[in-house]
């Protein structure tokens, strides 16, 4: 079913997502206070409030850093009209710096959304109207984009960024640690140490996340068979793909496809 959700998170201490993840909906991430390191696809950004990120479906991402206040709007593709989808796609995968006026307008809308009486028969219409106006403001906002950059004291080494980029591009190939280290001109221990230090997981674990993300995308956007998708996404066999998919997602690939298509 189409859905629109909004939630707030405030933390007074360091907090990091445990692992990279992706999902089937759009996420509008608004950082109201604080700073965050933001892994988005294969790039790293430094977010300083106020900033906004539009994350489209099935894009791998992760945040970490110190104290912050953020507001998330999660919305399914089926909820969007053509103008709203076009606006989100245009603004996606970049860090948008907000002016003082844009920040105030967005915060006002968010607080109005929180104040909507969810038990009211008009709640759905009120939230849809607020969301529509928010998308209009996003459409009209100045296109102040922020380029990827390293974090000052904990700079992500070029080796790690190159590894992330390589795995995002070559996910469908047979990748092992020895060959990966050779292609990046480093020793395997050096590669493992640096990648785990800055991403908190191994390159092969990250590769699996990318492969599952690509597989979920193909399950929904194509009519390919499970065999075709498993091969296209770099899995050794359809059986292995099915086992890993069910372990991570809780359902089989075919059930996932059926559930997701039912939402459109």
Mean pLDDT of 152-168: 76
Mean pLDDT of 52-65: 89
The yes-or-no verdict on residue 88 having pLDDT over 60 is: yes
Tell me the β-bridge partners of 96. Answer: 52, 145
pLDDT range class, residue 147, cuts 50, 70, 90: low
Distant-in-sequence, close-in-space partners of 45: CB < 8 Å, separation ≥ 6: 37, 38, 53, 95, 146, 148, 149
- Are 59 and 41 in contact by the 8 Å Cβ rule? The answer is yes
Higher pLDDT, 26 or 66: 26
Name the range with the highest mean pLDDT among 99-103, 151-155, 240-244: 240-244
Report the pLDDT value the prediction gives residue 59, as an integer from 0 to 100: 86
Secondary structure of residue 94 in the 3-state scheme: coil
Report the pLDDT value the prediction gives residue 263, as an integer from 0 to 100: 67
What is the percent of the chain where pLDDT is above 90? 60
Secondary structure of residue 95 in the 3-state scheme: strand
Give the helix/strand (H/E) hosting 17: none
Report the pLDDT value the prediction gives residue 67, as an integer from 0 to 100: 92
Report the pLDDT value the prediction gives residue 160, as an integer from 0 to 100: 86
Mean pLDDT of 101-126: 93
Report the pLDDT value the prediction gives residue 118, as an integer from 0 to 100: 87
The yes-or-no verdict on residue 50 having pLDDT over 80 is: yes
* Mean of pLDDT over the chain: 88
Q: Tell me: the pLDDT tens digits for 89-110?
A: 999 988 888 889 999 999 999 9
Mean pLDDT of 124-140: 94
The DSSP secondary-structure symbol of 99 reads: P
Secondary structure of residue 53 in the 3-state scheme: strand
What is the percent of the chain where pLDDT is above 70? 94
pLDDT range class, residue 153, cuts 50, 70, 90: very low
Higher pLDDT, 75 or 146: 75
Nearest residue to 47 (alpha-carbon basis) of 59, 65, 61, 22: 65
pLDDT range class, residue 231, cuts 50, 70, 90: very high
Report the pLDDT value the prediction gives residue 152, as an integer from 0 to 100: 41
pLDDT range class, residue 240, cuts 50, 70, 90: very high
Report the pLDDT value the prediction gives residue 162, as an integer from 0 to 100: 85
Cis, peptide link before residue 137, omega less than 30° from 0: no
pLDDT range class, residue 15, cuts 50, 70, 90: confident
Report the pLDDT value the prediction gives residue 18, as an integer from 0 to 100: 67
The yes-or-no verdict on residue 9 having pLDDT over 80 is: yes
């Amino acid at each position: 079913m189409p859905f629109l959700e909004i939630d707030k998170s405030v933390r007074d201490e360091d907090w990091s997502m445990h692992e990279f993840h992706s999902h089937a909906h759009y996420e509008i991430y608004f950082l109201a206070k604080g700073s965050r390191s933001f892994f988005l696809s294969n790039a790293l950004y430094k977010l300083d409030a106020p900033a906004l990120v539009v994350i489209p479906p099935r894009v791998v991402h992760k945040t970490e850093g110190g104290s912050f206040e953020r507001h998330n709007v999660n919305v399914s593709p089926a909820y969007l009209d053509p103008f709203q989808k076009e606006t989100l796609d245009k603004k996606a995968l970049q860090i948008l710096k907000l002016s003082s006026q844009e920040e105030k307008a967005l915060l006002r809308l968010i607080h109005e959304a929180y104040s909507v009486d969810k038990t009211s028969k008009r709640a759905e219409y009120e939230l849809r109207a607020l969301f529509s106006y928010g998308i209009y403001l996003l459409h009209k906002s100045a296109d102040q984009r922020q380029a990827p950059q390293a974090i000052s004291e904990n700079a992500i080494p070029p080796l790690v960024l190159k590894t992330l980029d390589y795995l995002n591009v070559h996910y469908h190939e047979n990748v092992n640690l020895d060959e990966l280290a050779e292609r990046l001109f480093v020793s395997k221990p050096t590669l493992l140490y640096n990648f785990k230090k800055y991403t908190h997981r191994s390159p092969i674990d990250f590769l699996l996340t990318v492969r599952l993300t690509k597989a979920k995308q193909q399950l929904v956007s194509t009519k390919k068979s499970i065999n075709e998708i498993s091969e296209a996404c770099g899995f050794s066999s359809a059986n292995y793909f099915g086992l890993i998919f069910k372990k991570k997602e809780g359902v089989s690939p075919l059930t996932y496809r059926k559930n997701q298509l039912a939402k459109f």
